[in-house]
Amino acid sequence: MATSIIDLAAYSARVSYQGPLTHSLETLIGLHRAQAFSIPFENLDIHLNRPIQLDPASLVQKLVHERRGGYCYELNGLFRLVLQELGFAVTCLVGRNLLAGYPLRPRAHQVLLVDVDAQPWLVDLGFGTNGLIEPIPLVAGPEHQQFFDRYRLQAAPQHNFQLQLHMQGQWQSLYTFTLDEAQPSDFQMMNFYYSQSPDSPFRKQRITTLAAPGFRVSLVDQELKTRRADGSIATSTLNEASTYALALETNFGIRLPGRLPI
């Protein structure tokens, strides 16, 4: 008998999911929402000079058993393992971050395309503070209210789609992507650049974010920010290593294996 790559019971406990584990749209949406509210986006291992490993065992160990977070290759990589264990057809795609502005970053954002009853759904748990809470159907035009944020897909030239978020009264493009399938080797190369290159934005900033039904919280370098459903934003600056560590544990459930200097 083949050994399962991921323990679904351990994963479900990690994301506090108590719904059905079936090959169904209900399960896809429920698991996506549960992970979005439980496993933070974070790049802190890069700043601890720890390697980012994308093999299944490393993803499960770090994100499930060590109760850490990760960036897109890790968060979507873990979710892909879960979905495949449940029998979903999952295709890996690559997007280009547009929110960062010009000059445009390379195409290097991992997203997933998941088929349910012959309908493709965009699945993405790795875009940080502006990312999806739930998957959305791969259909351009309709708006999708997800708690207090609103998203839509727009068709773009050259067979592209753009994911957009309604921000400050207007639609802002988050990233663009095509439907060309990517391979694990593609993400190994991207992961090496983003975790090792001095030009990588993830080596220049420490980023931790997590969503909740009524707010989104982020810690970027020393700035702790909470954006609430009513539009209010609360910010504070953490000037000591001890308060930084406390904020990580209190807001994101993260206990680091080492201390980051402030």
Catalytic residues: 72, 109, 124
Q: How far is CA 256 from CA 44, 45, 247, in A?
A: 8, 9, 12
Q: Which of 248, 239, 243 is nearest to 217 (CA)?
A: 248
Q: Which tokens in the block code for residue 145?
A: 């209210």
Query: Cα(196)–Cα(46) distance, rounded to whole angstroms?
Result: 8
In the 8-state DSSP scheme, what is residue 130? G
Strand order in the sheet with 215-220: 41-42, 207-212, 215-220, 223-228, 233-237
46: burial class by Cβ within 10 Å (0-12, 13-18, 19+)? buried
* Alpha carbon 214 to its chain's center: 18
Query: Cα(205)–Cα(219) distance, rounded to whole angstroms?
Result: 10
